[in-house]
Amino acid sequence: MDGDKPKGLKNIFIGNAMKVFATSKQTWEGVGFLLLILVMMVGFGSCGNMRRVTYFNGVKDSTLFDSLKAHALIIEPGAQLSIQISSLNMEIDNLINKANLSSVQNYGNGMSGLGGGITTGGYYVGDSGYIKLPRIGNLYVKGWTMPQLEDTLQNRYSEFAKNPLVTVRMLNFVVTILGEVGRTGPISITADRADLLQVLGITGDISNYGKRQNITIIRKTETGRILRKLDITKPEFVTSEFFYVKPGDVIYVEPNAAKKFSTTLTNQFMPIVMSATTFVLLLYNVFTN
């Protein structure tokens, strides 16, 4: 009878082990099902409404925006201006044009768009709104447009050269874009003007996780900084005064709900699920080997 005792204990142990295995197997299957549900939730969460990622919803071929005006680039203190003159007087030409010799300024991840790189040099507009020019001296240019300055300089330099042709460009037209776009960072623009869509195009467009209904633009003014929200899924946004960007603008693309959910799921829930899965797999290996 004593010999039967070890066999009885062995049978009890095997029976309990099988119960634990059955329980762990059910738990493992439950965890697997939970993982499947979580993956499906992530997939459905990333499939946003098409109207939320489509620009110009509801616009028709015949739609007109009468209030849309191309805002001329205004010269403000801190601007660096390239002033090029071409005339029959080489002395005057060389005297003025040599100040435009510039070098590329390194912004790390900076991008160039619409005509050029990020440069230094040219004629600097001081805090008082003046620039200092050869033969002319100090000239107040704050609030002027580029064509206005070109016309003025052509008239003024006609005293020293015959039929001068003057071209003015801004060297430090830089905007910064942040958030859910292809590439973030400062963008240099040397065209006369640029709109929000062009800037987004330079960055590689808004990602699938970007909230197109809530684009934030921060703009510096004489009295401080102002903040404006734009919904670029609606065609009316092109009539906003913020449709055209200005030097120093900061553009922020907010993440949408799918990105926030994905981030929360990855940072908080997935480590817990993975730990539980690992534990169940260990139990499964213990009782099946």
Q: Which residue has the higher pLDDT, 216 or 18?
A: 216
Q: Report how far apart, in Å, the C-alpha atoms of 242 and of each of 1, 23, 195, 246, 253 are.
A: 95, 62, 8, 8, 15
Q: How confident is the model over 151-172, as pLDDT tens digits?
A: 999 999 999 998 899 999 998 8
What does DSSP say about strands 185-189 and 111-113: parallel, antiparallel, or unpaired? parallel
The confidence score (pLDDT) of residue 29 equals 53
As a whole number of angstroms, the distance between CA 243 and CA 159 comes to: 41
Q: How confident is the model over 4-63, as pLDDT tens digits?
A: 555 555 455 445 545 544 554 555 455 555 555 555 554 544 444 545 556 666 666 655
Domains for the chain: give ranges and CATH numbers: 4-48+259-288 (no CATH), 53-65+174-255 (3.10.560.10), 80-170 (3.30.1950.10)
The confidence score (pLDDT) of residue 264 equals 52
pLDDT grade, residue 67 (50/70/90)? Answer: very low
The confidence score (pLDDT) of residue 289 equals 60
Q: What is the mean pLDDT of residues 237-265?
A: 81
As a whole number of angstroms, the distance between CA 99 and CA 121 comes to: 7
Scored b (16 or more CB within 10 A) or e, 153-187 reads bbeebeebbeebebebbbbbbbbbbebbbeebebb
| The two structure tokens encoding residue 250 | 């900061």
Local structure of 143: helix, strand or coil? coil
3-state helix, strand, coil in the chain (%, to 5): 40, 25, 35
Nearest partner of 255 among 213, 218, 227, judged by Cα:
213
As a whole number of angstroms, the distance between CA 22 and CA 266 comes to: 30
As a whole number of angstroms, the distance between CA 11 and CA 9 comes to: 5
pLDDT higher than 50, residue 83: yes
The confidence score (pLDDT) of residue 112 equals 55
Q: What is the mean pLDDT of residues 110-128?
A: 69
